[in-house]
């Protein structure tokens, strides 16, 4: 029996979601019963909701401890777009701001307070918290990124250690600790360090079903492949590189290929980094090329792909980094480019370590990464196995499951390869051996008289890449060795000799050429995509007006639903997953108008299929546009029309712009001063038909989005008339 049958209702009302994600309901029920909680969920699992919903349902203030300023701001912004009263206190605020926020807390209006650990436990703050407890009540402590408390985690922060003080001072306030780190060691540490009392422990599966995992061989063509992935995807992506230099090079190349890419690494100033990050979060840049310095605390839910162009250090990091894709549960892609050269680089750096124990661990971790990259089993099975989770395989959403590599018998080839190593007296590396096999006659070969060996030229039937693949596989399978002195000289071992004596056969997995897109674009899907694009543009504009990231307005998944369902009324709109009561009120009308306009355009296009295409723009304003036009022609101002129709002024401006584009009688001169019209027109001539934000950036604060939108409509109409598009 459900203890709290109404929870779904509150979920829909406050957050707009229809169902709880796995685990959420149980956790929330426990929280409502004031139990201490240890929540372990993968990135994107939906941890925040586990303390946010109880915060709204319980009396008093919920204090959320968060390690990063960016994280706090993000969550508070997202909460506010759902009309939930939340605020944060951190070092980015001046003392006046701090005081006024503290006062707001004292009035009892604030439900969630985000705060950095060092502030929370400061002598100045704790007395304040005592007063809050007396006057308002304390609902919960939520410790986000709780692994920061543990030295065994990957992100230890000493300030977190002092949080144990909270349990001593407020023994009756329950604590919810949350993390995405799954190892037992860290889990035990968190419970111990925070002094959790008989916590209810929730360990969610680490399987991220929506992520497609693939590994590709790294080669000269890799850049072209990266570009293809970037171009195939509409949304945002992160590309990780090992060094700053590589980051800058790749960013430069992508920019040259007209991709809106930015860099992020420790070599940039704080300001540049923060600026680039904001641009990425707000969808002003689409691709972030970064070292692993980037990512922690990035809450962007609509990252569609994460590419590792270099090998990650260990599987845990790979899981976390690639896991930044698809937090919104939409299909997303994780691609790892693998090369043996990278393995060499990492091996070299491991060998620089002085502590033998550390060396051993690092080597083992590297081995696991190689096994993942070279493995022919389901990638999920390998990853989840690493976290101690059993997964049966056949996930259908990784390269190995979708394109099983046929295993071929390469015993003869292996014999040729190994004999060549033997004939060359185990003194050369892979490149040289392959040269000899393929009958190369370079100076070194001639000098060594290796063109006279019986194995010279016996491998002309295979390409260099094929031989290389065999060579790696032999190394991986332990049928061949390689020195660790930086020269990578190939050495034989007893197993090699077994192969050469035909006592052992050799099979290798041969990859096929693969190309796939995550969704196939048949008619309906492509059509939906057109509408999604329009809704995306509207979302971006609204976000810019409020200076928030687009995803806090609506998630991609909600835009997709809008395009698929194409609701006709506000009620229908409100039923979509992701539309809560407040967002319905705030944005319902605007999105509905956009959807209706699209549907009508489609009808018109069908009707006028045989006529010239721009006639569609000359007629047929939508119903809501017609109402606006009528009022406008009666002489009402934009503000008055908005009031009468009970919508935002920006909606009216949007109507008027569309009407201008559709060649209706709207006098632009009454709406935008002539000087401004001229300037905006000039910029449009230079920049072309692009979104409002870059145009505004060009023009500066004196120009409003509304003005630009209106002039752009006129400009579009003229251009269309002139047949320029």
Residues that bind ligand ADP (CB under 6 A): 17, 19-21, 24, 41, 43-49, 299, 301, 327-328
Cβ distance to Zn ion smaller for residue 404 or 429: 404
DSSP letter at 378 equals -
Instruction: Using the rule CB under 5 A, give the single segment among 296-304, 375-383, 523-531, 585-593 that binds Zn ion.
Output: 375-383
> Which entry of Zn ion, ligand ADP, none binds 87, CB below 5 to 8 A by partner kind?
none
Nearest distance, CB of residue 331 and Zn ion, angstroms: 14
Q: Cβ distance 139 to 59 under 8 Å? A: yes
Give the list of residues 6+ apart from residue 258 with CB closer than 8 angstroms, or none. none
Taking 3-state DSSP, the helix, strand and coil percentages for the chain, each rounded to the nearest 5, stand at: 50, 10, 35
Task: Retrieve residue 688's tokens.
Answer: 């072309």
Nearest distance, CB of residue 469 and ligand ADP, angstroms: 38
Task: Retrieve residue 13's tokens.
Answer: 């009302």
Task: Retrieve residue 555's tokens.
Answer: 């998630």
- Cα separation, 430 vs 432, in Å, equals 5
Nearest distance, CB of residue 640 and Zn ion, angstroms: 60
**Residue 469 in contact with Zn ion, rule: CB under 5 A:** no
DSSP letter at 22 equals T
527: left (phi over 0), alpha (psi -120 to 50) or beta: alpha
Nearest distance, CB of residue 678 and Zn ion, angstroms: 59
What residues between 653 and 712 interact with Zn ion by CB under 5 A?
A: none
> Which entry of ligand ADP, Zn ion, none binds 378, CB below 5 to 8 A by partner kind?
Zn ion
> Which entry of Zn ion, ligand ADP, none binds 398, CB below 5 to 8 A by partner kind?
Zn ion
Cβ distance to ligand ADP smaller for residue 9 or 19: 19
Cβ distance to Zn ion smaller for residue 403 or 497: 403
Nearest distance, CB of residue 413 and ligand ADP, angstroms: 47
Q: What are phi and psi of 372, to 5 degrees?
A: -65, -45
Nearest distance, CB of residue 41 and ligand ADP, angstroms: 5
The secondary structure of 152-205 as a DSSP string is: TSSS--HHHHTTHHHHHH-TTS-EEEEES---HHHHHHHHHHHT-SSPEEEE--
> Which has the closest alpha carbon to 124: 153, 95, 145?
95
> Which entry of Zn ion, ligand ADP, none binds 625, CB below 5 to 8 A by partner kind?
none
- Cα separation, 249 vs 242, in Å, equals 12
Helices (H), 282-427: 315-322, 340-351, 356-374, 379-386, 399-402, 411-423
Nearest distance, CB of residue 295 and ligand ADP, angstroms: 12
Instruction: Using the rule CB under 5 A, give the single segment among 374-382, 585-593, 598-606, 675-683 that binds Zn ion.
Output: 374-382
> Which entry of ligand ADP, Zn ion, none binds 328, CB below 5 to 8 A by partner kind?
ligand ADP
> Which has the closest alpha carbon to 35: 227, 184, 173, 211?
173
DSSP letter at 398 equals B
Point out the residue whose Cβ comes nearest to Zn ion. 378
Nearest distance, CB of residue 215 and Zn ion, angstroms: 12
Nearest distance, CB of residue 183 and ligand ADP, angstroms: 17
Helices (H) and strands (E) counted in the chain, each on its own, are: 35, 17
Instruction: Using the rule CB under 5 A, give the single segment among 22-30, 118-126, 372-380, 416-424 that binds Zn ion.
Output: 372-380
Q: Cβ distance 587 to 542 under 8 Å? A: yes
**Dihedral sign from CA coordinates of 398, 403, 404, 410:** negative
Nearest distance, CB of residue 310 and Zn ion, angstroms: 23
Nearest distance, CB of residue 67 and Zn ion, angstroms: 34
> Which entry of ligand ADP, Zn ion, none binds 479, CB below 5 to 8 A by partner kind?
none
> Which entry of ligand ADP, Zn ion, none binds 395, CB below 5 to 8 A by partner kind?
Zn ion
Cβ distance to ligand ADP smaller for residue 53 or 616: 53
Cβ distance to ligand ADP smaller for residue 21 or 246: 21
Give the list of residues 6+ apart from residue 681 with CB closer than 8 angstroms, or none. 711, 715
> Which entry of Zn ion, ligand ADP, none binds 265, CB below 5 to 8 A by partner kind?
none
Nearest distance, CB of residue 575 and ligand ADP, angstroms: 14
> Which entry of Zn ion, ligand ADP, none binds 20, CB below 5 to 8 A by partner kind?
ligand ADP
> Which has the closest alpha carbon to 141: 170, 118, 99?
170
Task: Retrieve residue 534's tokens.
Answer: 């329009």
Cβ distance to ligand ADP smaller for residue 20 or 337: 20
Cβ distance to Zn ion smaller for residue 265 or 379: 379
What residues between 385 and 404 interact with Zn ion by CB under 5 A?
A: 395, 398, 401
Nearest distance, CB of residue 101 and ligand ADP, angstroms: 23
| Beta partners for residue 215, in sequence order | 336
Q: Cβ distance 660 to 721 under 8 Å? A: no
Task: Retrieve residue 439's tokens.
Answer: 């009958």
> Which entry of Zn ion, ligand ADP, none binds 21, CB below 5 to 8 A by partner kind?
ligand ADP
| Helix 623-633, helix 638-645: angle, nearest 10 | 130
Cβ distance to Zn ion smaller for residue 396 or 486: 396
Cβ distance to Zn ion smaller for residue 239 or 378: 378
Say how many residues touch Zn ion, by CB under 5 A: 5
Cβ distance to Zn ion smaller for residue 238 or 378: 378
Q: Cβ distance 200 to 59 under 8 Å? A: no
Cβ distance to ligand ADP smaller for residue 66 or 624: 66
Q: What are phi and psi of 410, to 5 degrees?
A: -115, 35
Task: Retrieve residue 654's tokens.
Answer: 């949007």
- Cα separation, 689 vs 691, in Å, equals 7
Nearest distance, CB of residue 149 and Zn ion, angstroms: 34
Nearest distance, CB of residue 497 and ligand ADP, angstroms: 52
> Which entry of Zn ion, ligand ADP, none binds 602, CB below 5 to 8 A by partner kind?
none
- Residue written as tokens 């319980």? 58
Upper half-sphere CA count for residue 276 (Cβ side, 13 Å): 21
Judged by CB under 5 A, the residue of 378, 437, 553, 561 near Zn ion is 378
Cβ distance to ligand ADP smaller for residue 19 or 568: 19
For residue 666, count CB atoms less than 10 angstroms from its CB and return exposed for 0-12, middle for 13-18, buried for 19 or more: buried
> Which entry of ligand ADP, Zn ion, none binds 45, CB below 5 to 8 A by partner kind?
ligand ADP
> Which entry of Zn ion, ligand ADP, none binds 401, CB below 5 to 8 A by partner kind?
Zn ion
Helices (H), 646-700: 649-661, 668-671, 674-687, 692-699
> Which entry of Zn ion, ligand ADP, none binds 49, CB below 5 to 8 A by partner kind?
ligand ADP
Binding-site ranges for Zn ion (CB under 5 A):
378, 380, 395, 398, 401
């Amino acid at each position: 029996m459900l203890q709290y049958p109404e929870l779904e209702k509150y979920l829909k009302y406050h957050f707009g979601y229809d169902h709880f994600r796995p685990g959420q309901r149980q956790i929330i029920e426990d929280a409502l019963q004031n139990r201490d909680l240890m929540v372990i969920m993968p990135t994107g699992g939906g941890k925040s909701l586990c303390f946010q919903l109880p915060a709204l349902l319980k009396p008093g203030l919920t204090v959320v401890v968060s390690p990063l300023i960016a994280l706090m701001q993000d969550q508070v912004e997202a909460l506010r777009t759902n009309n939930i009263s939340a605020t944060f206190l951190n070092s980015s605020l001046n003392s006046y701001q701090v005081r006024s926020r503290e006062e707001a807390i004292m009035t009892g209006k604030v439900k969630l307070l985000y705060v950095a650990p060092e502030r929370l436990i400061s002598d100045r703050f704790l007395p304040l918290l005592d007063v809050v407890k007396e006057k308002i009540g304390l609902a919960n402590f939520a410790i986000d990124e709780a692994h920061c408390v543990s030295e065994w985690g990957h992100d230890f922060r000493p300030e977190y250690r002092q949080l144990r003080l909270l349990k001593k001072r407020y023994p009756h306030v329950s604590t919810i600790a949350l993390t995405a780190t799954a190892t037992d060691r860290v889990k035990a540490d968190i419970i111990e360090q925070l002094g959790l009392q008989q916590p209810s422990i929730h360990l969610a599966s680490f399987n991220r079903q929506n992520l497609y995992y693939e590994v590709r061989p790294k080669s000269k063509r890799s850049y072209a492949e990266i570009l293809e992935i970037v171009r195939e995807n509409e949304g945002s992506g992160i590309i990780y590189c090992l060094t700053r230099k590589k980051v800058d090079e790749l960013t430069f190349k992508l920019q040259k290929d007209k991709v809106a890419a930015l860099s992020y690494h420790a070599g940039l100033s704080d300001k540049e980094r923060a600026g680039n990050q904001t641009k990425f979060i707000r969808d002003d840049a689409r691709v972030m090329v970064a070292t692993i310095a980037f990512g922690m605390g990035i809450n962007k839910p609509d990252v569609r792909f994460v590419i590792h162009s270099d090998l990650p250090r260990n599987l845990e990091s790979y899981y976390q980094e690639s896991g930044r894709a698809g937090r919104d549960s939409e299909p997303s892609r994780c691609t790892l480019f693998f090369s043996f050269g990278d393995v060499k680089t990492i091996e070299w750096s491991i060998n620089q370590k002085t502590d033998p124990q550390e060396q051993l661990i690092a080597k083992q971790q590297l081995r696991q990464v190689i096994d993942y990259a070279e493995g022919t089993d389901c990638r999920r099975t390998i990853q989840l196995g690493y976290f101690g989770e059993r997964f049966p395989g056949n996930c259908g959403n990784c390269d190995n499951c979708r394109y099983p590599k046929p295993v071929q018998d390469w015993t003869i080839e292996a014999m040729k390869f190994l004999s060549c190593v033997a004939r060359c007296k185990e003194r050369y590396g892979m490149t040289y051996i392959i040269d000899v096999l393929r009958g190369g006659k370079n100076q070194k070969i001639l000098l060594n008289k290796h063109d006279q060996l019986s194995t010279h030229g016996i491998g002309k039937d295979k390409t260099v890449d094929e031989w290389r693949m065999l060579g790696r596989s032999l190394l991986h399978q332990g049928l061949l060795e390689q020195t660790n002195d930086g020269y990578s000289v190939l050495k034989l071992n007893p197993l090699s000799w077994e192969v050469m004596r035909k006592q052992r056969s050799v099979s290798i997995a041969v990859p096929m050429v693969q190309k796939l897109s995550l969704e196939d674009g048949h008619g309906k899907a492509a059509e939906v995509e057109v509408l999604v694009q329009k809704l995306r543009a509207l979302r971006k504009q609204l976000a810019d007006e409020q200076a928030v990231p687009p995803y806090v307005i609506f998630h991609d998944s909600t835009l997709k639903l809008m395009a698929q369902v194409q609701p006709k009324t506000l009620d229908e709109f409100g039923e979509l997953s992701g539309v809560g009561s407040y967002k319905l009120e705030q944005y319902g009308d605007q999105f509905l108008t956009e959807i209706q306009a699209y549907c009508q355009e489609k009808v018109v296009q069908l009707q006028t299929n045989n006529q010239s295409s721009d006639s569609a723009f000359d007629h047929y304003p939508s119903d809501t546009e017609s109402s606006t036009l009528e009022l406008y022609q009666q002489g009402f101002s934009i503000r008055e029309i908005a009031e009468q129709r009970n919508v935002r002024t920006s909606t009216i401006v949007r109507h008027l712009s569309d009407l201008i584009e559709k060649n209706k009688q709207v006098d632009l001169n009454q709406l935008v001063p002539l000087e401004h019209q001229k300037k905006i027109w000039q910029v449009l001539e230079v920049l072309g038909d692009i979104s409002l934000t870059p145009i505004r950036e060009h023009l500066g604060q004196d120009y409003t989005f509304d003005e630009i939108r209106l002039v752009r409509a006129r400009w579009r109409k003229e251009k269309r008339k002139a047949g320029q598009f």
